[in-house]
Amino acid sequence: MTSLHIVLLVAGAGVGLWVLHKIGQILTKVLEAVAAVAVVFVTAFLLVKGAWWAGRQVVRHWRTSLTTAGVLAWMYWWGWLSLLATIATIALGLWVWRRLHRHSFEPWAGRRLRAWWQRWIVYAPRLPGWLRACGLTIADQGQPVTIQVNPFRRSAVQPRIKPRADQLPRIIGVRSGPSWDEVRVRLVPGQTPEDFDEAARALAVARRVARCQIRELAPDVVSIDFQRCDRLTDLVSCADLAALETVKGEEIDLRRVWSGRTEYGTDWHQPIAGGHTLTAGATGAGKNSVSWSPIVSIAPAIRDGLVRVSGIDPKGMELAYGRRIFHRYAVTSRDALSLLDDLVDGMEQRKAEHAGRVRTVPISREHPLELLEFDEIGALIRYVGDRKTREAITERVALLTTQGRALGYTVRGYVQEPTKDTVPVRELFPRRICLRVASKSHVAMVLGEHAYDRGAWANRIGESEAGVGFLFGEGIREPLRVRAGWVPDETIKALEAFVAGSAPAATGKVLSLPAPVPAPAGGVA
């Protein structure tokens, strides 16, 4: 190789190296530009995502956000000592307000402060653990990842599942009342409200409360209600007869009759007109309170002839104490059948008179509401009397419950054993009340298949809680715990004087009582 060839080779190598150097510089600048653009995009994405998350949190928890912003601004402008003094002054003012006028404090400030405290101090940190312990999470199975084992061994390729965190329902709001906390959560895909129904007892134990009830608010939203204190421990008094002296019968709303208190501390009203009610409860559970309390509340309507009460009393004791209140009264199975025949005949007359004219017969003195109080309905339908009489009584009760609603006839039955064999017409009562019962199965017989899972723990009611029970009616998914007003013996006697005046004494026969005749002027009969 000549020297010329060597020179050309060296020159070519130098040019090649120079070209490679320039290409490397260009690639370096391109990569730097790409990296800079990537950093800008990633930073912008993270900033936008962080701003979106922060903005969503601020909007979702706007009260807490405004409070935090106000505290920070106060500390910046006036210092933390001024902030502590202001907080102490506000706390003292709230305490004085609560002591002096609790009725206005509770709706305006108490429930909001309690809800904020319960959400961030109790439920936000603890509810996720309770949900996991109660099995109310959805396990994310993750994506299968294929890995290769040792190539020198004759083993197949094995898949591995990359685990992920379980999905938890998210808290979307907390409301707090004097006795209940309502925690609204949004379900995750794969969950149903029935899953929470089944875990209600476990959630109550986790929260260390006596009751927990699940309410479905939307297809994917439920409210987990925790009862912090029981507002039905004290006795509930019935309506005051003295206050009803000046009330006219037309002023009584028969579709909203006061009957006692609910577990939320509100008045319990139930319809007497427009539906039939079946009440089940063991001996001493308080069926008398459920029976007598509404009758006391509608006393002016009975006195003025807008309501006529009939009573079937197989024991001859429960309703006999207020015998003069009843327009018809029966003890034996034959007398009960005669009483039911009289009611059915009157119903047929109303049907013939109003058919094609109105859909619902208006309540008036000419066509009063016929209210039948059927105590121990299972005794005459299942146990007492001959078979034909029992079947006839069952048939009459079925006629009244299926046809009487629009014609102004209401049946209210009471039973100790709510089995289908004892009360074959059980399903014809749209509204039901379950007082203390002996077994969990009785709850389902009275209130429905899933009532116990939804919080109707009637078998756990104590013997000292007479009149406490669970209510289930048309359009109600969650049972409502109530306590009927207690009616003492002297009130029943006062009710007799209020309604019937000088009516005949009690007998075991069917008897139609004349309407009370008002005394002439001067007070002389």
**Over the stretch 410-448, which tens digit does the pLDDT of each residue have?**
999 999 888 877 788 888 898 999 999 988 889 988 988
Q: Is domain 81-134+166-227 classified as CATH 3.40.50.1000?
A: no
pLDDT of the residue at 514: 36
**Over the stretch 293-344, which tens digit does the pLDDT of each residue have?**
999 999 999 999 999 999 999 888 888 888 899 999 999 888 999 999 999 9
**Which regions of 144-236 does DSSP assign to beta strands (E)?**
144-147, 158-161, 170-176, 180-186, 211-218, 221-227
Examine domains 81-134+166-227 and 242-499 and report if their fold is the same. no
Determine the CATH number of domain 242-499: 3.40.50.300
Q: State the Cα–Cα distance between residues 244 and 301, nearest whole angstrom.
A: 10
Please state the rounded mean pLDDT for residues 49-77. 76
Q: 155-187: buried (b, 16+ CB within 10 Å) or exposed (e) per residue?
A: eeeeeeeeeeeeebbebeebbbbeebbbbbbeb
Q: What global pTM score does this model have?
A: 0.76
Please state the rounded mean pLDDT for residues 488-509. 71
Q: State the Cα–Cα distance between residues 344 and 455, nearest whole angstrom.
A: 38
- pLDDT for 523 beyond 50: no
| Token couple for 44 | 């912008």
The structural domains of the chain, with segments of one domain joined by +, span 81-134+166-227, 242-499
Amino acid at position 175, single letter: R
**Over the stretch 124-182, which tens digit does the pLDDT of each residue have?**
999 999 999 999 998 765 555 454 455 555 555 555 555 556 789 999 999 998 889 99
**Over the stretch 356-407, which tens digit does the pLDDT of each residue have?**
888 889 999 999 999 999 998 877 777 766 788 888 999 999 999 999 999 9
